[in-house]
Chains A and B, each alone.
Chain A
Amino acid sequence: MSAARQAEFKRAARHARIVRFLKVALPALAFLIVIGGAVTIWIARSAPDNVSVSSAAFDEGNVVMEDPRMSGVDSKNRPYQLIARRAIQSVDGGGITLDAIQAKVSVSDDATANIRAASGYYDATIGSLELTKGISVKTTNGVSIQLSGADIDLTKGTMEGQGPVIIKSGSQTIQSQTLKVSDSGKLLSFGGRVKMSIEPASLKNEASAFQSKE
């Protein structure tokens, strides 16, 4: 991680301790179809600006928060927002379990992504977020991504996605069993037999470059 990002991360961590109740770092997963594609993953590292909870209660040693909402700006000053149906944190600290996560994050200057994950577990101590039971991402520039689960390392900005992974963008589809994302989205590794299909629509402009004379 670059030094600037590290310095910024420390500053955010100190700031975060002020936010007593809930600190959820927000991952943004949006993959644009691969080859030749711009791939961006922005992982928000700055602490949320405002956090709200509709109600909170103690329940057998857990703090249960109903529809936690959190919004802020990511490291590039672009807004993100996260809501969940419920967040449960054990009183003695430790991770936060989230149900029905919905997030809206910017993935490039002109595109945002809507992310849904059935459930997630966030552990601030190691800066990791595990999303499970199905993730779906839709971006405003036409990319849709499905994964069954993902382990995100928020400090390193990496993600290990479990398949089946299906990415659709424009007229192309990629399917694989696994997907590793690193270097903030600049490096992607699809594994476990990859299938990519490119529909004729997007070939038009490519093929028109050389008409066959048959």
Chain B
Amino acid sequence: QQNGTDLGRNFSGLQLRGDKPIAIESNQLDVDDRNNVATFSGNVSVKQGDVQLRSGKLIVYYKRDAKKAGGPQTSPASTPGALPGGSSQIDRLEATEKVYVKSSNQVATADKAQFDMAKKLVTLTGNVVLTQGDNVAEGCRLTIQMNTGVARLESQSCGKASNGRVRLMLTPGQNGSSSGN
């Protein structure tokens, strides 16, 4: 019987789903269309379904769809580029300044989160704290596979800063089977 130690092994819910709208809010949005970069700044919140990302800043790197230059458009409505559909695609996202990521039952906080859309990988670094119910795990890097939700919390291999050990505090859940999903 699983005793809730999938913490740090599965961060379900952090998948980009095609069926739910995404809502992004921030105080400011600066788009630099020459360098294909858009920067949301000032208590940024990104929500889709029950997944939420909050941070002080979110930088979106997008790449122009090569076919945009008049070639046959794949997407029927050749609406001008847009996040993240339209004719140009997101390359990667970088959230900094107190990153908070919440999925259905787990919360992760870190200094920085990088979303690599090509590799479909989310990497949280810097004071990573992962909580699920009363269970808390700390480390210095958390990688999450966006399509499966499989997560890996590391401590040894990422740099000299912390003493390297994962501190995993498991409180035996009163209701015993708090396996989380």
Which residues of chain A have C-beta atoms less than 8 A from B60's C-beta? 35-36
User: Given contacts A110-B70, A194-B40, A213-B148, is CB(A207)–CB(B27) below 8 Å?
Assistant: no
What secondary structure prevails in chain B residues at the interface with A? loop
**Chain A proximity mask over B118-144: 1 for CB below 8 Å, otherwise 0:** 001000000000000000000000000
A39 to B29, CA, bound (A): 14
Which residues of chain A have C-beta atoms less than 8 A from B64's C-beta? 36, 38
**Chain B proximity mask over A171-214: 1 for CB below 8 Å, otherwise 0:** 11010100000010111111111111111111111111111111
Q: Tell me if A109 counts as interface (CB < 8 A to partner B).
A: yes
Which residues of chain A have C-beta atoms less than 8 A from B147's C-beta? 210-213
Q: Tell me if B90 counts as interface (CB < 8 A to partner A).
A: yes
- B-side interface size class: 35 or more
Which residues of chain A have C-beta atoms less than 8 A from B21's C-beta? 197-200, 203
User: Given contacts A169-B86, A170-B82, is CB(A142)–CB(B77) below 8 Å?
Assistant: yes
- Name A204's contact: one of B23, B28, B85 (CB within 8 Å): B85
Cβ contact within 8 Å between A214 and B12: yes
Residue of B nearest to A141 (CB): B80
**Chain A proximity mask over B59-99: 1 for CB below 8 Å, otherwise 0:** 01011100010100011011111111110111000000000
Choose the segment among B31-39, B106-114, B167-175 that binds chain A (4+ C-beta atoms closer than 8 Å): B31-39
User: Given contacts A110-B70, A189-B30, is CB(A203)–CB(B84) below 8 Å?
Assistant: yes
Q: Tell me if B26 counts as interface (CB < 8 A to partner A).
A: yes
Which residues of chain A have C-beta atoms less than 8 A from B75's C-beta? 205
- Which residues on A are within 8 Å of B, measured CB to CB? 32-39, 108-111, 141-143, 169-172, 174, 176, 183, 185-214
- Which residues on B are within 8 Å of A, measured CB to CB? 12, 15-34, 36, 38, 40, 60, 62-64, 68, 70, 74-75, 77-86, 88-90, 117, 120, 146-149
Known: A187-B34, A196-B24, A203-B17. 5 other contacts (CB 8 A): A36-B84, A141-B80, A171-B85, A206-B85, A211-B147
